[in-house]
Amino acid sequence: MQNPEYLLEMRNIVKVFPGVRALDGVNLKVRPGKVHVICGENGAGKSTLMKTINGTYVADEGEMFFKGQPVGKHTVEDTIKMGIAMIYQELNPVMDMTIAENVYLGREPMKGIFVDYGKLYSDTQTLLDQLDIPYNAHQTMRELSIAGHQLIEIAKAISMNAQVIIMDEPSSAIADAEIEVLFGQIFRLREQGVAILYITHKMDEIFRIADEITIIRDGRWIESGPASDYDAGKLVARMVGREITNVFPKENDIPIGDVVLEVKNLTQEKPDGGRFRDISFQLRAGEILGFSGLVGAGRSELMRAIFGLDRLTSGEVYLNGQRLNIRHTADAVKAGIAMVSEDRKGYGLVLGRSIHDNVSLVNLDQFLHGGLVNDSEIDRKTEEMVKLLQIKIANQNVAASTLSGGNQQKVVLAKWLIGDVKVMILDEPTRGIDVGAKSEIHKLMCRFAREGMAIIMISSELPEILGMSDRVVVMQEGQINGILNRSEATQESIMTLATKGRSK
Amino acid sequence: MEKTKEKFNFGKFYGKYGTFLLLVVIFLAACLFVPDFFGKDNLTNILRQIAVVTILGFGVEFVIILGHINVALGSEIALIGCVSCMVMVAVQGSMGAGMALVVSILSALALGLLIGGINGFVITKFDIPAFIMTLAVTTVARGGALLLTGGKPVSGMDSIYKSIGQGYVGPIPISVIILLILFVICWVILNKTRFGRHLFAVGGNANAAEASGIKSKSVVRKAFLIDGLMAAIAGVLFMSRMGTGQPSAGVSYEFDAITACVVGGTSLAGGSGTITGTLIGAVIVGIINNAQNLLGINAYWQQIVKGLIILVAVIVDVVTKRAAAKAK
């Protein structure tokens, strides 16, 4: 009946949301001291499964066993007590409190009615030292990077004696170099017998850390097995139920035209330090220019400034040889520069409004007649875009918030494409998007390039940079360390440039 | 998930038709239980009574959709209304009553634009909460009205001035005609113009609007200009109905206007709201007030009821939104 060789076991889990069976008979067996990766497309039910385990959701059917003991209905508090901790995709640390205060938030050691700060800080420091996390317990969370926040979250889990730690796409927000730190920590925990449940979309990560793999698709359990039984092709095929021949379908015969965008000596200084300095590059029609670098290299800040979201301190921007004076995004839009932000929900969409409204937002003037908006024209144009980009929606009047990540991203693209775009800036265009939609977006990028658009693509995934870029700009600490041609660009050459260290 | 059939969801249903249903229920209840309620005279009377508040509601609707607020409307209509009366008194002798009325109204509109312009400018320029700015304007405008009038009512306007608030065209009060014209204008602005679309975008997600090339601060300033214009029209109508310029009148009118918006389904968090809803909301509040008067309910109790209405409306908004979000 029970199998104590498993730390955690889920049998035939069913979770129904109004109108959808998010989980439909999922099985999961987690051994101690193993990294167990859950694979599946976006919307496959991975996060729902994790939230069912940790008690955020209550399963409608199925059983859960922890150390061989059946677990009934449980809450998040119950699972934390049992020793199951979850590190969410988006962390919300209290930024202005110290590491120690965050680790013991809500369970501070007390001396009478007062917090025992001495014990709070010494306990935390001991914990950090044990885990080889190189921070001081007195530092505030604001001083730490997102990877740092994750390490603190892991420390917090350990301080609560977690035996199973669930990580939902921890690497999606951090750069490749920082991932090493995270993996180091995961390997250490594994040696201590902690089981890690890990969700990720990145193939290379799966094969680096996975001991065991469970694949789910459309809420159904497909299979589980040791990671050594899989390679990338087989895994993707099982996840999507179809073979994807080329994950990055960059077409190499796209003609490269004249210089469209040229920037010279762009610099942005802020009171708390420079964001970027002395940036110059050229971008040609039909070209995809990749921007690589560690998180914090200043790539997004640079693009925000070119697009007019932030101000430049100095430097010049030319479009087709004409000097632009961009004081607001409206000026950039008028000139034909489009930007798809890395923060889709924050800067891409008005989530509460319909697809119709979002698509028409940028180029509303196209649909104005005598000062009034012609909605049936927007309907037609939106329908056209929905077909062109293969956006999956019931109808264009549904709120943007109801769409999956991939479809949301396509709506953002659609909003720009109904206008005349000369330069398209894409900041992490496929982050958090499932494999199928990802390759569709890559195909669209090739198509835009072929039509003569000049494209800038920031990506923190090296395979994407290598697969899609004609040239790669590598940045570090706000400066360009080098620009590589497609033939020169390799994982090694980029990482070397991105981490070469600067003499100031 | 996007292909699943839509199931019935009370939150969504309520969000769409709730206000209208509420109007029907309250109207029927009033007809049944309040003597003298149902009758042409009383119903026309209700529309006349709500005209000022509804017009203020139309104006503040634009501001609330942006997630801002204006708590100074009561003082603004006192100041603007009194100024229009004083202008009327000052010029009617020299240029004739008809022309003087035009000048009086134009000066009110100009003052309304000025106040709205200052509100929008300060709020966007210094990035301060609209609540604080308009809270300051509340006493500034009230003080201004008392200062200009010496604290005494302004009287002596030609009777043509009173006709705006008290007159009829056939059986229909002029104030109701003005109300309906403004309703149509505001509906068109909100639903059919570029500014209207930008308003919802900025209210829903200012960052995304900015990243789409929309100058969100300019949208905010324009919304406050409209708010100021509506306050001007409401101010003239208000004094005209009373027949004198009352510098101390209009207290808590902003509250009634905001209540009309919220009861009409406008979210104080910004990003959503309709002009039709605000009109219905104002009528609902008007019926409740009227019914209480007819039933002879003590005015102090009426204040308590008013406060509870807005509280319940906001709670319903939050709860239905949560239910709708859960159903996703």
Residues of chain B contacting A348 with CB distance shorter than 8 Å: 208, 211
* Residue B8, pLDDT score: 60
Q: Which residues pair with A476 in a beta bridge?
A: A479
CB-based burial of residue A423 (10 Å sphere; 0-12 exposed, 13-18 middle, 19+ buried)? buried
Tell me which residue of A294, A277, A263, A344 sits closest to A476, measured CA to CA. A294
Alpha-carbon Rg for chain A, nearest whole angstrom, is 24
Residue count of chain A, please give it: 504
Chains A, B: CB contacts within 8 A come to: 100
Same domain, A228 and A270: no
Q: Cα dist. B22→B29, B37, B45, B135, B278 in Å? A: 10, 17, 21, 32, 13
Among residues A190, A222, A240, the one where a domain terminates is: A240
pLDDT digits (tens, 9 = 90+) for B246-293: 999 999 999 999 999 999 989 899 999 999 999 999 999 999 999 999
Among residues A240, A269, A293, the one where a domain terminates is: A240
Same domain, A121 and A193: yes
Cross-sheet strand order for the sheet of A84-87: A84-87, A164-168, A195-199, A35-39, A212-217, A220-226
Same domain, A385 and A356: yes
Domain boundaries, chain B: 39-250
Assess: ipTM above 0.90: no
Question: Which residue does chain B place closest to A396, by CA atoms?
Answer: B2
Same domain, A297 and A353: no
pLDDT band at A1 (very low <50, low <70, confident <90, very high): very low
Q: Cβ of A372 and B193 within 8 Å?
A: yes
pLDDT digits (tens, 9 = 90+) for A314-330: 999 999 999 999 999 99
Helix B40-65, helix B275-294: angle, nearest 10: 140
Residue A403: which of B2, B200, B210 has the nearest Cβ? B2
Domain extent, residue A273, equals 246-336+420-434+445-504
Same domain, A296 and A430: yes
Same domain, A138 and A228: yes
Identify the CATH number of the domain in which residue A328 sits. Answer: 3.40.50.300
Structural domains in chain A (count): 3
Same domain, A65 and A173: yes
Q: Cα dist. A470→A142, A451, A487, B300 in Å? A: 37, 16, 9, 75
- Tokens at A345, concatenated: 């929900």
Mean predicted confidence (pLDDT) in B154-163: 94
Alpha-carbon Rg for chain B, nearest whole angstrom, is 20
C-alpha count within 13 angstroms, C-beta hemisphere, residue B211: 26
* Residue B3, pLDDT score: 40
Q: Does residue A242 surpass a pLDDT of 90? A: no
Question: Which of A67-71, A493-497, B288-292, B307-311 is predicted with the least confidence, judged by mean pLDDT?
Answer: A493-497
- Tokens at A6, concatenated: 């498993």
Question: Which residue does chain B place closest to A331, by CA atoms?
Answer: B213
Mean predicted confidence (pLDDT) in A171-191: 81
Question: Which of A40-44, A157-161, A278-282, B205-209 is predicted with the least confidence, judged by mean pLDDT?
Answer: A40-44
Among residues A186, A208, A240, the one where a domain terminates is: A240
Q: Does residue A295 surpass a pLDDT of 80? A: no
| Dist. CA B18–CA B281, nearest whole Å | 11
pLDDT digits (tens, 9 = 90+) for B13-29: 666 777 888 899 999 99
Mean predicted confidence (pLDDT) in B298-325: 84
Question: Which residue does chain B place closest to A339, by CA atoms?
Answer: B211
Residues of chain B contacting A346 with CB distance shorter than 8 Å: 205, 207-208
Helix or strand or coil: residue B41? helix
Instruction: Decide: A458 and A426 in contact? Cβ < 8 Å.
Output: yes
Same domain, A362 and A295: no
pLDDT digits (tens, 9 = 90+) for B210-235: 999 999 999 999 999 999 999 999 99
Within the 134-163 window of chain A, which residues sit less than 8 Å (CB to CB) from chain B? none
Q: Does A16 touch chain B (CB under 8 A)?
A: no
Examine residue A439 and state whether it is found in any structural domain, yes or no: no
Q: Cβ of B200 and A350 within 8 Å?
A: yes
Same domain, A393 and A289: no
Percent of chain B whose pLDDT exceeds 70: 94
Q: Does A56 touch chain B (CB under 8 A)?
A: no
Percent of chain A whose pLDDT exceeds 90: 59
Examine residue A341 and state whether it is found in any structural domain, yes or no: no
pTM here is: 0.77
Examine residue A3 and state whether it is found in any structural domain, yes or no: no
Neighbours of B169 (CB within 10 A): 9
Same domain, A462 and A473: yes
Instruction: Decide: B285 and B260 in contact? Cβ < 8 Å.
Output: yes
Same domain, A86 and A212: yes
| Dist. CA A22–CA B115, nearest whole Å | 54
Mean predicted confidence (pLDDT) in B112-124: 98
- Tokens at A146, concatenated: 């997102």
Instruction: Decide: A225 and A203 in contact? Cβ < 8 Å.
Output: no
One-letter amino acid of A279: I
What's the whole-number average pLDDT of chain A?
A: 88
Phi, psi torsion values for A408, nearest 5 degrees: -60, -45
Tell me which residue of B14, B11, B18 sits closest to B327, measured CA to CA. B11
Same domain, A179 and A126: yes
pLDDT band at B241 (very low <50, low <70, confident <90, very high): very high
Phi, psi torsion values for A63, nearest 5 degrees: -125, 155
* Residue B1, pLDDT score: 38
